[in-house]
Amino acid sequence: MAILKIARMGHPVLLQCCAPVEDPGAPEIRRLVADMMETMEDAPGVGLAAPQVHVPLRLFVFRVPGERAAGEPDDVPVGNSVLINPTLELLGDERVLGWEGCLSIPGLRAAIPRASRIRYRGVDCDGNPVEREVAGFHARVVQHEYDHLDGILYTMRVTDFGLFGFNEELNRAAEARAPAEAPR
């Protein structure tokens, strides 16, 4: 396995609409997925899409750490997962603001409106179908990663640029406001 180089905002690979994976079980795809999981853990991050490692294909890896999951039935911790050739369905009209960062935009985060519930489908490396209805942080991560496959970065979805900034500054400001409630 290997730690892969992550493309940063400004690199054209992040703006491409990615191509479907023709053979999800191919050895090079399995290797890519294993390397992406290792890269995500090393960063560390909670999601990584193939174009972020300079491969413009429709797949991403993600995880839902215990401290991020709300603990509700559709938002429980999930270990390293892969989704290949995904489709995404936003359920309902409700949009909720939540903080997002991106390994391609280091040091920054912004509050982004996302659907609170989604259904997604895809396959894993064995060609097994994956279908899930999820909410909360799980739904947010999948929407963020799915956007990468269409060349969309979270910065393109910012609705309030007052809620966009450097992690260090935002953390300092949050601590000054409410020491016990500082965001992670």
DSSP string, the chain: --PPPPPPTT-GGGGSPPBPPS-TTSHHHHHHHHHHHHHHHHTT-SEEEGGGGT--BSEEEEEE-TTT---STTS--EEEEEEEEEEEEEEEEEEEEEEE--TTSTTEEEEEEEEEEEEEEEE-TT--EEEEEEEHHHHHHHHHHHHHHTT--GGGG-S-GGGEEEHHHHHHHHHHH-GGG---
Q: How far is the CB of 103 from Ni ion (least distance, A)?
A: 6
| Number of residue whose CB is nearest Ni ion | 102
Catalytic site residue 22? no
Q: How far is the CB of 155 from Ni ion (least distance, A)?
A: 10
Q: Can residue 4 be called a binding residue for Ni ion (CB under 5 A)?
A: no
Taking residue 126's Cβ as centre, other Cβ atoms within 10 Å add up to 8
Q: Count residues near Ni ion (CB under 5 A).
A: 1
Nearer to Ni ion, 177 or 184 (CB): 184
Question: Which x/- pattern over 82-121 shows residues binding Ni ion (rule: CB under 5 A)?
Answer: --------------------x-------------------
Catalytic residue among 67, 133, 145, 175: 145
Q: Can residue 46 be called a binding residue for Ni ion (CB under 5 A)?
A: no
Nearer to Ni ion, 109 or 117 (CB): 109
Nearer to Ni ion, 61 or 135 (CB): 61
Nearer to Ni ion, 25 or 44 (CB): 44
Q: What residues make contact with Ni ion under the rule CB under 5 A?
A: 102
